[in-house]
């Protein structure tokens, strides 16, 4: 087999996995790899978690899809559960993070219409990534992924991340919403300072804007609370999530509260597959498992992982910082380091490099202490060899 019939939208690595279990993936030759990417923050419970496998098996034998022309009881149960977890009022289900963020942007436009704003503006942040549909691409601050797709959708104004003064200065009669990630993933694992989200909440309340939080990557336990915004005890008007919600099964959600809770009505939005019985059954199993002892350990696991990495990498001058929240870790290097992905994979470790010079680690939340230590040892060995080569005359 080959990739000749695939549109080449991905620069795929030269490996194919045929089996997964927990934090481990196995290639066609049976070689094991410690997965510190988790399908890009998707498999929070690891690969082929028994609860997820059981939910898929049982629901697929019963009913997989009917469409949203009819009531879906398991969707209603998931909606209630998610809203209770997030402190939100209602939810729309789609298939992905981009779809959830697309719904959020449409909500901002409806909010503008209600307020009589003819040329609405959503404030977005430098370093952000919100998706690859036309609206989410336009909201994203990445010229590389936007290249060739102009003219982009109007109505977005880009500001420095983690800068409340910039948001205050941007206030005018056309602004209707703020769209922001509590921790920027693609942007380099940049976490907002304490008080930033609370400050945005206050500014949105002051001006009548919607506060829209993109928790596609940070949600579902990744940062140590079910949603990252809960660490600051704030409630957004719109909260989007996906990735870890289905642990590999495609499902996304756009949750609303307050001023956003009654903007959508019948015919305003829709999704053929969104919230189907199979996807919702899987998401309920994921939530049950996260709340059965997994979530409460994430904060401590993440702090220990970062501490071990700082200790192991402390002698490497090219390592500038180890940062992150929960099990979302960024290692900032002083130079572009994309080649480390191949080097680590050859050593049996899967990592990701984002923003050019940041090693991003997103291991499964169920990773054991022994597996954590193996991750640290393998990565430090790879980085030490890389540093030695870089410094050689």
Tokens of 370: 């022994």
- 277 phi and psi angles, rounded to 5 deg: -55, -40
pLDDT of residue 50: 98
pLDDT of residue 124: 98
Catalytic residue, candidates 93, 214, 227, 237 = 214
* Bridge partners for 121 per DSSP: 175
pLDDT of residue 392: 66
Tokens of 23: 């934090």
Catalytic residue, candidates 93, 129, 156, 227 = 129
Is 149 an annotated catalytic residue?
no
Is 249 an annotated catalytic residue?
no
CA of residue 125 relative to chain centroid, distance: 16
The three-state DSSP-derived secondary structure of 219-285 is CCCCCCCCCHHHHHCCCCCEEEECHHHCCCCCCEEEEECHHHCCCCCCCCCCCCCCCCHHHHHHHHH
- 58 phi and psi angles, rounded to 5 deg: -70, -45
DSSP structure class, residue 193: P
pLDDT of residue 107: 98
pLDDT of residue 87: 97
pLDDT of residue 393: 63
Alpha helices for the chain (secondary structure H): 38-41, 50-62, 73-86, 97-115, 134-139, 143-146, 164-170, 196-207, 277-289, 295-313, 340-346, 369-391
Reported pTM: 0.96
pLDDT of residue 60: 98
- Radius of gyration over every alpha carbon of the chain, rounded to an integer in angstroms: 21
Is 31 an annotated catalytic residue?
no
* Bridge partners for 93 per DSSP: 253
Which residues make up each annotated binding site? 97-98, 129, 132, 214-217, 271-272
Which residues make up each annotated binding site for pyridoxal 5'-phosphate? 97-98, 129, 214-217, 272
Tokens of 205: 């309340």
One digit per residue, the tens of pLDDT, for the chain of length 393 reads: 688 999 999 999 999 999 999 999 999 999 999 999 999 999 999 999 999 999 999 999 999 999 999 999 999 999 999 999 999 999 999 999 999 999 999 999 999 999 999 999 999 999 999 999 999 999 998 888 999 999 999 999 999 999 999 999 999 999 999 999 999 999 999 999 999 999 999 999 999 999 999 999 999 999 999 999 999 999 999 999 999 999 999 999 999 999 999 999 999 999 999 999 999 999 999 999 999 999 999 999 999 999 999 999 999 999 999 999 999 999 999 999 999 999 999 999 999 999 999 999 999 999 999 999 999 999 999 999 999 998 766
């Amino acid at each position: 087999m080959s990739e000749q019939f695939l549109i080449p939208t991905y620069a795929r690595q030269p490996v194919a996995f045929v089996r997964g279990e927990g934090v481990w993936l196995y290639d066609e030759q049976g070689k094991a790899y410690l997965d510190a990417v988790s399908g890009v923050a998707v498999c929070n419970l690891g690969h082929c978690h028994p609860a997820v496998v059981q939910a898929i098996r049982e629901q697929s034998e019963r009913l997989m899809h009917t469409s949203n022309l009819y009531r879906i009881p398991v969707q209603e149960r998931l909606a209630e559960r998610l809203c209770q977890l997030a402190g939100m009022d209602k939810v729309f289900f789609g298939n992905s993070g981009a779809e959830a963020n697309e719904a959020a942007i449409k909500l901002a436009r409806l909010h503008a219409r209600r307020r009589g704003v003819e040329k609405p503006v959503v404030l977005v942040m430098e370093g952000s990534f919100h998706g690859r549909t036309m609206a989410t691409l336009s909201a994203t601050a990445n010229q590389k992924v936007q290249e060739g797709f102009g003219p982009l959708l109007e109505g977005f104004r880009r500001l420095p991340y983690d800068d409340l003064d910039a948001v205050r200065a941007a206030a005018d009669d056309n602004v209707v919403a703020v769209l922001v990630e509590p921790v920027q993933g693609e942007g380099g694992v940049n976490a907002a300072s304490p008080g930033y989200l609370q400050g945005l909440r206050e500014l949105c309340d002051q001006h009548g804007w919607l506060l829209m939080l993109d928790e596609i990557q940070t949600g579902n336990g990744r940062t140590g609370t079910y949603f990252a915004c809960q660490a600051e005890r704030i409630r957004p008007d719109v909260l989007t999530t996906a990735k870890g919600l289905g642990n590999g099964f495609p499902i996304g959600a756009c949750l609303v509260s307050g001023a956003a809770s009654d903007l959508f009505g019948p015919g305003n939005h829709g999704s053929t597959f969104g919230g189907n019985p199979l996807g919702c059954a899987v998401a309920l199993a994921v939530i049950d498992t996260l709340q059965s002892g997994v979530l409460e350990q994430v904060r401590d696991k993440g702090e220990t992982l970062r501490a071990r990495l700082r200790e192991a990498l402390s002698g490497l001058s090219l390592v500038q910082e180890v940062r992150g929240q929960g099990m979302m870790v960024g290692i900032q290097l002083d130079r572009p380091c994309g080649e480390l992905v191949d080097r680590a994979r050859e050593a049996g470790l899967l990592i990701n490099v984002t923003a050019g010079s940041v090693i991003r680690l997103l291991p499964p939340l169920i990773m054991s202490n022994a597996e954590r230590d193996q991750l640290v040892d393998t990565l430090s060995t790879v980085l030490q060899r890389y540093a030695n080569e870089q410094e050689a005359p």
